[in-house]
Amino acid sequence: MEKIKVSIQKIAGSEDIALPVYMTDQSAGMDICAAVTEETIILPGKRQKIPTGICISLPDGYEAQIRPRSGLAINQGITLLNSPGTIDADYRGEIALIVINHGSEPFEVTRGMRLAQMVVQSIFRVDWVEVSKLDNTSRGNGGFGHT
């Protein structure tokens, strides 16, 4: 498995927040934590921007995707809007999570709670080649529900 070095900075006041961490040897995503300064309640149907207390510097040619945690989704109805969120290689600001409560009960976000996951991937740049006709496939232009 290929590894890359990524610089990470904790924002002042977030020194106690854990760095993103793989929870198992074969995890694709690293859990990232909430850096709220006080307990934050997200009511059913509402959303909240939650800080993580970290900034990263990805190498050129990479992105970080921010994704929901499946356990929070199935157990409490908690997920992320704009998912997956993309952190570009040139972004240097704090990573924040847009958390929404699709559950039926208020959800309490506490400091240090594992709230999302981050997957770092290589990316490709596209050079478009405009053509008058695309190649044929068995699916063709079949859309939603086609297969």
Q: What is the mean pLDDT of the chain?
A: 96
pLDDT for 147: 63
- Using the 8-state DSSP alphabet, how is residue 60 labeled? T
pLDDT for 93: 98
For a pLDDT cut of 90, what percent of the chain falls above it? 91
pLDDT for 138: 85
pLDDT for 103: 97
- Confidence band, pLDDT 50/70/90 cuts, at residue 146: low
Contact of 139 with 146, CB cutoff 8 Å: yes
Q: What is the pLDDT of residues 41-62, one digit of tens each?
A: 999 999 999 999 999 999 999 9
Candidate CATH numbers 2.70.40.10, 3.20.20.120, 2.60.120.1440, 3.40.50.720; the one for domain 7-122: 2.70.40.10
CA–CA–CA angle 118, 119, 125 (5° rounding): 130
Average pLDDT over residues 9-15: 97
In whole angstroms, what is the distance from residue 4 CA to residue 30 CA? 14
Q: What is the pLDDT of residues 69-110, one digit of tens each?
A: 999 999 999 999 999 999 999 999 999 999 999 999 999 999
- Confidence band, pLDDT 50/70/90 cuts, at residue 142: confident
Counts for the chain of helices (H) and strands (E), in that order: 1, 12
